[in-house]
Amino acid sequence: MDYKSIMGNKSILCFSLLVFGFNCTHVFGQSEMQKEKIKTNYSQAKIKVFNSELEKQYANSKKRVLRLAKSNGWVLSETLPNGTFIELQDIGSDNTPLYYTTLNDNVSHIARADGLYSGGILDLGLNGNGMQVGVWDSGMALRTHQEFDNRVTVADGTDKLDKHATMVMGTLVASGVKKKAKGVAFGATALTSDWTRDKIEVSEAAANGLLLSNHSYGIKTDRVPDWYFGSYIKVSQDWDKIMYNSPYYLMVTASGNAQNSRDNDAPIHGVNADGYDLILGFSASKNVLTVAAAETTIDNKGNLTKAKVAAYSSFGPMDDGRIKPDISGGGTNVFTTSSSGVKNYEISSGTSMATPGVTGSMLLLQQYYERLNNTFMKASTLKGLVLHTADDVQEAGPDYKMGWGVINAIAAAKTIANKEYTSIISEEELVNRGTYSINVNSNGKEALMVSISWTDPATGFVNRGILNDITAALVNDLDVRVTKNGETHYPWKLNAANASSAATKGDNKVDPFEKIVIENASGAYTITVSHKGDLSTGAQNYSLIVSGVAVTQCNVDVPSEITIEKADESTLTLEWQEAPDTLFEVQYKNENIEEWTTAYIYDHFITISEFIIGETYEFRVKAICTENITSEYTPKLSFSFEGKDTKLQDFVNYEALSTNTEISVIVYPNPAVEEISLEGNISSKAVYSIITTAGITVKKGNVAAADKIRVDDMSQGLYVLTIEDLSGVASTMFYKD
């Protein structure tokens, strides 16, 4: 099956709506209507039963905690000398006390989230407005802080003001009264709750449409036996159930700051000083996104130039070989809000600070996806997108220190914008014993990347005391393969027993995310998704993400070679250069009328009627590849309607343009690094535009043939340069290195 044929009907539907005056997108965020739409996808009866089980589990656990704490002399909570707050929250299956603990340069810049703001590299105008995020922590944030603008609500009735929760909340949603403190999603609203009943409260909020929650805390590593590290335990299972029951909801959690703690004396790889095998509890869940902290350098074009794991950030792996942490973000020396006063701030470091940077970036990506597609992504799609587009660091493939690399919100947003053009984002269902296969064509300009992601059911198996148990937690083992001419490409995988070694390619049997990268791809490939054994639920939903493909032959060149093909007493036919798979937006009007008449056609010509002899009319046209990928309009063309003698006023110049005798623009150097120069017959009144392959204009201004255009502030990639002057329009492409 060819992907273009699969997506064709969706595109036609959207463009049909445009023709009839309806917009396929809107500007709202997560409204109550959107939450209700999400809720209708869930089995509320099933969630209600599970929540009742959590309530009973919590009540029994609380009694048990108090009883064992009293008999063993365990402290219920305390603030350690370094300011870290800990609290006894649960008892393990072996009666181990489980203490929750807080996990203590610009976060948005490291995540590249600032590239999505107004004036950012992509200039998308995103800030989280209309979106909502949940924060569970050791207490509530100072909701009256000047940075929160009444956008923070206490959701669980707690009155325990907390320093750590306030810092996390600021990193997420601070408005930027102090510029250095601006949160990643600075226009969003947030719920603040303490961690006492976190599973129950999150399950209820997720069932009611919550998309994301931030958990910058975990189980204290120096108070559990070694077998807990890397294990899939009861709390891991509970959180997987919550996310499986509410598949649009994603939990984001910190990996921890125990790299140098030497708390695990029996790691699955190496010795305790190596820092491996330190992730535990809900951070070990399959469906959660676990965040490491990275020390990075990002240039002003959004490019990652240097990265290494922070000296405190906890390493994986999981004992079954799963990749944890999943992703990394900036968490060192973060300037953020303080609970000591409504105008106070402080600096903090840790995976606690890296986590809200990632959470906020993903909230912006949900806002952008919904704006373009009128629906939110499922959690598996959002998680898969972030891992798919992360900046790979050091050796190729994932590792057990920073997962799939450093989050890159710009790359993720571009993948969303290029959907159905150079990327595929598709939510599918695989039935038991079934396969899914599509054919794609590499675009020859970038690596072909294919990934699948799914929210896996919670396994019935939980570890109850076995050291370094390698039993796989994965329930439904999906597989993705890419083939061409008898050659099969496999996904990345890691080996827990040799955790410091580079990733290899092969059959991944443990991760609910698989990714294939084919460098220097060219030509046609077949993507196949299948599974091993039987699917436990009879079917499994999954998300397919592909980049580096040519979904259509469409291009975003400004239409050229415009002519009047024929005319009579009341009609004329305008024609331009043919372009396969391209929709054209045609606009025309009487010069004395302000409002344009608009038509959408796949033909490269249009016949217009009801003209009046002697009246002057204006006409323009642009190419559309998807709703998000368009060219600019041609300059306005004028003609005085004279029946069969009608001629375009700029007809001669457009003839010259079409034969490249008048305007022939050459860009050099190509590829370019700092600036580009132009050669061609360009007038002093020429205007240039530089457009990304996502259809976003990143530069615009006046230029003459002798002028140079600076491009050193632009991201690496392919761009379209359009020159418009009195003679018409010429376009060419160049690569920014």
CATH of the domain at 655: 2.60.40.10
371 SS3 class: helix
Confidence of residue 249 (pLDDT cuts 50, 70, 90): very high
Q: Counting Cβ atoms within 10 Å, is residue 74 exposed (0-12), middle (13-18) or buried (19+)?
A: middle
d(C-alpha 1, C-alpha 438), whole Å? 5
Of residues 552 and 8, more confidently modeled: 552
Q: Is residue 11 part of a domain?
A: no
| DSSP symbols for 304-359 | EEEEEE-TTPPP---TT----S-EEEE-SSEEEE-TT-TT-EEEE-SHHHHHHHHH
> In the predicted model, is pLDDT for residue 595 greater than 50?
yes
706 and 626, same domain (yes or no):
no
Do residues 316 and 229 share a domain? yes
Model pLDDT for residues 438-496, shown as the tens digit of each residue = 999 999 889 999 999 999 999 888 999 999 999 999 999 999 999 999 999 999 999 99
With respect to residue 246, please indicate whether it lies within any of the assigned structural domains.
yes
Q: Answer with the residue of higher pLDDT: 426 or 736.
A: 426
Residue 62 burial (CB count, 10 A): 15
Instruction: Decide if pLDDT at 695 tops 80.
Output: no
Cα 251 from Cα 113, distance rounded (Å): 19
Question: In the numeric block, which tokens belong to residue 524?
Answer: 């046609």
Most confident of 115-119, 368-372, 566-570, 606-610: 368-372
Which pLDDT does position 723 carry in this prediction? 81
pLDDT digits (tens, 9 = 90+) for 197-244: 999 999 999 999 999 999 999 999 999 999 999 999 999 999 999 999
Q: Identify whether 500 is part of a domain.
A: no
**Number of Cβ within a 10 Å radius of residue 180:** 13
**Do 55 and 124 belong to one domain?**
yes
Of 659, 688, 715, the position where a domain reaches its end is: 659
What is the separation, in whole angstroms, between the first and last Cα of the chain?
Answer: 35
Tell whether 271 and 148 lie within a shared domain.
yes
Instruction: Verify that 560 and 699 share a domain, yes or no.
Output: no
177/44 same-domain check: yes
**Residue 645 above 60 pLDDT?**
yes
List the single range of 21-35, 212-226, 397-411 with lowest mean pLDDT. 21-35
Model confidence at 21: pLDDT above 50: no
- Comparing CA positions, the residue from 127, 182, 671, 656 lying closest to residue 368 is 127
pLDDT for 130-183, tens place per residue? 999 999 999 999 999 999 999 999 999 999 999 999 999 999 999 999 999 999
Average pLDDT for the chain? 88
The verdict on residue 542 lying in a domain is no
What pLDDT score was predicted for residue 720? 81
Residue 182: inside a domain, yes or no? yes
pLDDT attached to residue 722: 82
Total length of the chain: 737
Phi-psi region of 189 (alpha: psi -120 to 50; beta: other; left: phi over 0): beta
496: in domain: no
Assess whether 124 and 219 both reside in one domain.
yes
Q: Band the pLDDT of 717: cuts 50, 70, 90.
A: confident
Residue whose token pair is 């009195």: 726
Q: Are residues 47 and 61 in the same domain?
A: yes
The answer to whether residues 616 and 680 belong to one domain is no
Q: What is the mean pLDDT of residues 284-303?
A: 90
Is 13 in a helix, a strand, or coil?
A: helix
pLDDT higher than 70, residue 24: no
How many CA atoms lie within 13 Å of 638's alpha carbon, on the beta-carbon side?
9
Which has the closest alpha carbon to 215: 234, 237, 191, 233? 191
Choose the weakest-confidence range: 230-244, 359-373, 595-609, 720-734.
720-734
Q: What is the mean pLDDT of residues 405-409?
A: 95
Max mean pLDDT among 89-98, 282-291, 558-567 falls in 282-291
Question: Does residue 220 share a domain with residue 170?
Answer: yes
Q: What is the DSSP string of 512-580?
A: SEEEEEETT--SEEEEEEEESS--TTSEEEEEEEEESB--SS---PPP---EEEEE-SS-EEEE----T
Query: CB under 8 Å, gap of 24 or more: what pairs does 12-17 form?
Result: 14/627, 15/583, 15/600, 15/624, 15/627
Q: For residue 704, what is the domain's CATH number?
A: 2.60.40.3080
Number of domains comprising the chain:
3
- Tell whether the model's pLDDT for residue 118 goes beyond 90: no
DSSP structure class, residue 376: P
**What was the pLDDT predicted at 655?**
34
70, two tokens: 């009293």
DSSP-derived letter for residue 635 is P
Assess whether pLDDT exceeds 50 at residue 659. Answer: no
| pLDDT bucket at 709, cuts 50 / 70 / 90 | confident
**29 pLDDT more than 80:** no
Residue 301 maps to which CATH number?
3.40.50.200
Do residues 402 and 503 lie in contact, with contact meaning Cβ atoms separated by under 8 Å?
no
Of 400, 417, 434, which closes a domain?
A: 417
> Are 610 and 735 part of one and the same domain?
no
| Domain range enclosing 608 | 553-659
Residue 529 lies in a domain: no
pLDDT for residue 319 is more than 60: yes
Q: What is the pLDDT of residue 296?
A: 81
192: in domain: yes
User: What integer pLDDT is reported at residue 1 of this predicted model?
Assistant: 53
Burial class (CB in 10 A: 0-12, 13-18, 19+), 32: exposed
Nearest to 398 by CA among 256, 214, 480, 390: 390
Residues 6 or more apart whose CB falls under 8 angstroms from that of 596 comprise: 587, 588, 589
Alpha-carbon distance 406 to 709, whole Å? 31
Look at residues 248, 213, 274, 579 and name the one whose alpha carbon lies nearest to residue 401.
Answer: 274
pLDDT band per the 50, 70, 90 thresholds, residue 17? very low
Q: Please check whether residues 176 and 270 belong to one and the same domain.
A: yes
**16-30, 279-293, 700-714 — which one is most confidently predicted on average?**
279-293
Q: What's the confidence (pLDDT) of residue 652?
A: 34
CA distance 461 to 470: 12
- Residue where a domain terminates, one of 627, 659, 691: 659
Burial class (CB in 10 A: 0-12, 13-18, 19+), 733: middle
Q: What is the 3-state secondary structure (H, E, C) of 245-313?
A: HCCCCEEEEECCCCCCCCCCCCCCCCCHHHCCCCCCHHHHCCCCEEEEEEEEEECCCCCEEEEEECCCC
- Tell me the per-residue pLDDT of 421-438, one tens digit each, with 9 for 90 and over: 999 999 999 999 999 999
- The amino acid that residue 668 corresponds to is Y
